[in-house]
Amino acid sequence: MRKNSLGDTLRELRKQKGLSQEDLAEGICSPVSISRIENGNQIPSQPVLEALLEKLGTGLYQICNVYYRSEQQEDFEERAQVIVNLGEEENMDQAWQELNRLQQDCPDDTRSRQLCWLVESTLRLECHDTDPENYPLAYTMELAQKALALTRPNFDYENFPNSILTIFEVDLLHIMVAIWAGMDRNMDALRLGERLYASLKKHKSDVVSYERAKINVVRNLGAILAKMKMYQDALQYIDEAEALSLKNDEHSLLVMIELTRAEIYCLTDRKEECADILKTLAAYTALTKQTTYLSSIQRLAHDKLGLDL
């Protein structure tokens, strides 16, 4: 849920269509204006932007996180990110309190409503492991699908790799992948995850949030294949996630990637390699005070290897 550059996105869409700046500008504005917009030196009026998007074959809500932000909208999205962070840190009571306030303050627009439902879906998915009765996966799936339908009312879940998805839409689809996996509908999870990854690979964005999403999707595909006991294929995805993380300097994602690798090593009786990874991860997460990850690492080491880290 990070910001994106309007100019960068317009340039990317223009190149995907094979249009020159002159082609895109024709009948709308001057080529000089297109150049200035793409370089971040000019903000188009809404009518001009809508005309450009129409020529590019997309719309305001399908343009990879591009929209007019007021200070209020920026603050709203920052508050949403804080709630997600609280959930990841297992501060659930505070996360739900902040979500309730966010929902009360939600502006009357599609994107903001989608964001509220995205955050609620994220928290519900995280709470399911400890309280499945109050946070059933079926309800969370309905909520995520309802949120996606706000901007994609006729979304084709079977064929969307050529679609240009906003980061909110990517996150919602990734939640659905995790829900299918949580329901042990592993083939459904795998198929949706692979389609989402294909879409993200075609997008070829340099925007940080898309790259992080791509890495998380790949790691999740590895975890799903491990559940299906397809360990070699699972490790190939984990290797790919690790390579993407290093390439994009997303080192914060490496802990979860290597923890998934350790789990697969444990399942394939590579206990010494698993122990080596867990010892390294335990030392690192203790040093960096990543207590949630440290607890998961210590639990795996104790339950599977009899190690106290």
Q: What is the mean pLDDT of each run of 10 residues along the chain (309 residues)?
A: 64 84 87 88 78 72 49 80 90 95 89 93 94 96 96 88 80 96 96 94 69 93 96 97 92 93 95 95 91 90 92
Q: What is the pLDDT of residue 204?
A: 60
CATH of 70-184, one of 1.10.3470, 1.25.40, 3.30.70, 1.10.1060: 1.25.40
Alpha-carbon torsion 281, 283, 284, 286, what sign?
positive
Q: Which of helix, strand or coil describes residue 302?
A: helix
Q: What is the pLDDT of residue 45?
A: 79
Q: What is the pLDDT of residue 4?
A: 46
187 is written with which tokens? Answer: 């083939």
Quick one: CATH architecture of 6-62? Orthogonal Bundle (1.10)
CB 66 within 8 A of CB 111: no
Residue 205: CA atoms inside 13 Å, Cβ hemisphere, count? 31
Q: What is the pLDDT of residue 8?
A: 80
Rg (CA), the chain: 21
| Amino acid type, 302 | H
Tell me the C-alpha to C-alpha distance, in Å, between residue 61 and each of 65, 107, 160: 7, 16, 16
Residues with Cβ within 8 Å of 137's Cβ and at least 6 positions away in sequence, in order, are: 125, 128, 179, 182, 183
Q: What is the pTM of this model?
A: 0.77
Q: What is the pLDDT of residue 81?
A: 92
Q: What is the pLDDT of residue 51?
A: 78
- Where are the chain's structural domains? 6-62, 70-184, 205-309
